[in-house]
DNA sequence: CTGTTAGCGCCTTCAA
DNA sequence: TTGAAGGCGCTAACAG
């Protein structure tokens, strides 16, 4: 697999390498007939430019990196697609990375991308500790997070206003007549869960509707499993059945649905169910009502913010985070 | 964002750039105290090596590219993960690309990856016409397909033996007592479907069991939608209900399940259902019996084949394709 | 053990 | 319109 280089083309076409470069890049300062002759030679030798060399000299790669926790989750893979689209639209290429919810892998990818000279990184941090590795690279490459970041690390984020989301979910269930609310699938490490749960409780309290968070400290690899197992656990607890359940996320809600099916519980006949995130994956049974921001809007905003930083060479901490307004997406998992 | 280079480090540490390079790459021929001094300077200036420059001179990127048709499908994203794992295990990095089932995007990525000097490409071609663009780059970079390729393009593939798969599915249903078989979700453009359907029919015929392919030329963006709509269409056709259905794929099967639910049809009580591919995604309701090869085995094999080509510089057409043996994965969508 | 030097493939002045 | 030459950041001989 010997590489054909610009030099080979030059020799073959009997011109200088400068002319070849000019021809390839559509620059002017070269006669049309020479250009077409050169291009023909390229064809013939099936020449492929070496992007590494080009990026090295131009000091631009026109590439950003995206790091997500779990490519197999429909939620994250949709975000990846939307983000890619947004980047492509602005003329940037994208490198996709899957951190697999492992801090180690996340850090490795951060490093890898920095070394590959990506001009910016869009990252969905897997947890609060992610900021440690992120701040390690913040001086080398602009970053935008897709999750609220704790602490003052100077990295801007673009995410949903989860407090609003929790309130919207609670208000909706109450408006549909629910009078005994439960939050299932809570995982305290997730900041988003904390916000959702807290404002859920607050809203219920303000309206004097009994509500509680089912806290079950068992953890599982996926949100689906967490939902499934937490709810099974709840069913065995002997606690009274709620008439409205807020799941910590849509994936969690799907787990709850599975547990219900195994126990002959029907949704929405036996209780109303609402989730967060608006996973758009098509499921054979459930049509889940949910609260979420527009994924497209979120990714567009994030990419725009990131490329803004890239293009104006914004130093660390030069940009402001943004919280997007979530909306209710009504489907058929709530009665009334 | 001015880059810190090896030169800056050398100046700051009062040594030559060669020493810095040696220190960074853990080579010997440098005293320990000098090395640690250099490394400290790197820390302090938060130096990140420029991978482009390094790859350029080493003429190696230790990177392969993976192109899949749909990152949002759990099937493909699982393959991506398995392939990444296999590549990482062998010390290669991976660039993930999503062709979105578009020939244009597929070709663009092929080109992009070649320009980025990936050392090999693993591709799940979106269709027979993919070979056109693939053969355009076959002289620049080794490739392995994850799908059977038509024609003599010299590109090896690693995929399931779909004829066997079709036979296994048919035999299983028959062994479970099904006596009226139907194949749903057929899309003639997909070679795999053709194999599956043909050997399904053949097997049934050999055993003298009535069987047919429900041909419905409506097409949809996803297999899920195809399954859903084809089966709804079938239900309205007034044809007699089968007692065993082979879905063109697991995704198709999920669509069928949805149509069943809307029509009060129960699985496996009303008919047995079997799919292909073994999507491992967790679904709230269905537990689908299916026929598939081990994804891990397939990706391991493909990566090994590809890296073999890379490392021994195999010329075009130097390697043989392999067809893997599918197995039955028994779950609970078939009665008996 | 250390530093100097010659490229890797390409783009981009600068002269001609 | 053309070509020669310098350099992007790095590694790998080759001298010392």
- Judge whether B129 and B101 are in contact, CB under 8 Å: no
Q: Which residue's alpha carbon is at the shortest distance from the C1' of D2?
A: A19
Nearest to B121 by CA among B100, B137, B142, B104: B142
Give the pLDDT score at A318: 67
Q: What is the mean pLDDT of residues A34-56?
A: 96
Hey, is the C-beta of B56 within 8 angstroms of any chain A C-beta? yes
Identify which of B52, B97, B286 has the shortest CB distance to residue A284. B286
Give the pLDDT score at A266: 94
Give the pLDDT score at B55: 97
Give the pLDDT score at A221: 86
What number of other Cβ atoms are within 10 A of residue A93's Cβ?
Answer: 22
Checking if the pLDDT of B170 tops 90, the result is yes
Hey, is the C-beta of B72 within 8 angstroms of any chain A C-beta? yes
User: What is the band of A56 on the pLDDT scale with cuts at 50, 70, 90?
Assistant: very high
Percent of chain A with pLDDT over 90: 86
User: What is the band of B314 on the pLDDT scale with cuts at 50, 70, 90?
Assistant: confident
Q: What is the mean pLDDT of residues A29-53?
A: 94
What number of other Cβ atoms are within 10 A of residue B240's Cβ?
Answer: 9
Checking if the pLDDT of A179 tops 90, the result is yes
- Judge whether B247 and B273 are in contact, CB under 8 Å: yes
Hey, is the C-beta of A49 within 8 angstroms of any chain B C-beta? yes
User: What is the band of B149 on the pLDDT scale with cuts at 50, 70, 90?
Assistant: confident
**How far in angstroms lies nucleotide C1's C1' from the CA of residue B34?**
10
Give the pLDDT score at B298: 98
Checking if the pLDDT of A282 tops 90, the result is no
Give the pLDDT score at B316: 66
- Judge whether A111 and A57 are in contact, CB under 8 Å: no
Output the average pLDDT for chain B. Answer: 94
Reported as type and span, the H/E element at residue A123 is strand A120-123
Q: What is the mean pLDDT of residues A159-188?
A: 97
Q: Of A105-109, A204-208, B121-125, B219-223, give the lowest mean pLDDT range.
A: B219-223
Give the pLDDT score at A1: 67
Residues with Cβ < 8 Å from B76, sequence gap 6 or more? B68, B69, B70, B124
Give the pLDDT score at B281: 81
Hey, is the C-beta of B222 within 8 angstroms of any chain A C-beta? yes
Answer whether A139 sits within 8 Å of B84, measured CB to CB: no
Give the pLDDT score at A20: 97
Checking if the pLDDT of A157 tops 70, the result is yes
Give the pLDDT confidence of B196-247 residue by residue, as tens digits.
999 999 999 999 999 999 999 888 988 999 999 999 999 999 999 999 999 9
Identify which of B48, B117, B257 has the shortest CB distance to residue A284. B257
Better-scored residue on pLDDT, A216 or A325: A325
Identify which of A93, A112, A282 has the shortest CB distance to residue B93. A112
Q: Which residues of A touch B51 (CB under 8 A)?
A: 112, 115-117
**How far in angstroms lies nucleotide D4's C1' from the CA of residue A18?**
9
Checking if the pLDDT of B313 tops 90, the result is no
Q: What is the mean pLDDT of residues A140-149?
A: 94
CA-based nearest distance A206→chain B, Å: 34
Strand D reaches within 7 A of the B50 CB = yes
Hey, is the C-beta of B43 within 8 angstroms of any chain A C-beta? no
Quick check: helix, strand or coil at residue A196? helix
Residues with Cβ < 8 Å from A309, sequence gap 6 or more? A120, A142, A144, A318, A319
Answer whether B50 sits within 8 Å of A56, measured CB to CB: yes
CA-based nearest distance B161→chain A, Å: 25
Domains, chain A, in order of start with CATH, read 4-56 (1.10.260.40), 61-158+293-325 (3.40.50.2300), 160-291 (3.40.50.2300)
Answer whether B140 sits within 8 Å of A80, measured CB to CB: no
Answer whether B284 sits within 8 Å of A282, measured CB to CB: no
Give the pLDDT confidence of A62-74 residue by residue, as tens digits.
999 999 999 999 9
Q: Which residues of A touch B71 (CB under 8 A)?
A: 71, 77, 80-81, 96
User: What is the band of B151 on the pLDDT scale with cuts at 50, 70, 90?
Assistant: confident
pTM: 0.93
Q: What is the mean pLDDT of residues B80-96?
A: 95
Strand C reaches within 7 A of the B41 CB = no
Hey, is the C-beta of B80 within 8 angstroms of any chain A C-beta? yes
- Judge whether A238 and A262 are in contact, CB under 8 Å: no
């Amino acid at each position: 697999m010997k590489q054909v280089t610009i030099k080979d083309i030059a020799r073959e076409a009997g011109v200088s390498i400068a002319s070849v470069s000019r021809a390839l890049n559509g620059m002017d300062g070269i006669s049309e007939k020479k250009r077409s002759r050169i291009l023909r030679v390229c064809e013939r030798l099936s020449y492929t430019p070496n992007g590494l060399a080009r990026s090295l000299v131009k000091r631009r790669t026109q590439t950003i990196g995206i790091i997500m926790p779990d490519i197999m989750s429909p939620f994250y893979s949709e975000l990846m697609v939307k983000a890619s689209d947004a980047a492509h639209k602005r003329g940037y290429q994208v490198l996709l990375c899957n951190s697999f919810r492992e801090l180690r892998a996340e850090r490795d990818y951060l490093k890898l991308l920095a070394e590959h000279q990506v001009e910016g990184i869009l990252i969905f941090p897997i947890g609060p500790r992610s900021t440690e590795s992120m701040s390690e690279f913040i001086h080398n490459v602009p970053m935008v997070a897709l999750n609220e970041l704790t602490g003052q690390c100077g990295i801007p984020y673009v995410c949903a206003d989860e407090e609003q989301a929790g309130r919207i979910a609670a208000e909706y269930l109450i408006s549909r007549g629910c009078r005994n609310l439960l939050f299932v699938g809570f995982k305290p490490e997730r900041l988003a869960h904390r916000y959702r749960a807290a404002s859920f409780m607050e809203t219920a309290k303000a309206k004097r509707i009994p509500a509680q968070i089912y806290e079950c400290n068992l953890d599982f690899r996926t949100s689906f499993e967490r939902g499934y197992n937490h709810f099974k656990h709840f069913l065995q607890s002997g606690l009274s059945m709620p008439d409205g359940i807020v799941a910590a996320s849509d994936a969690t809600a799907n787990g709850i649905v599975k547990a219900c099916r195994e126990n002959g519980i029907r949704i929405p006949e036996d209780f109303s169910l609402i989730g967060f995130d608006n996973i758009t994956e098509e499921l054979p049974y459930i049509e889940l009502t949910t609260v979420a921001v527009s994924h497209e809007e979120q990714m567009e905003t994030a990419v725009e913010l990131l490329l803004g930083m890239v293009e104006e060479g914004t130093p660390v901490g030069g940009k402001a985070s943004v919280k997007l307004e979530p909306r209710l997406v009504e489907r058929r998992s709530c009665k009334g």
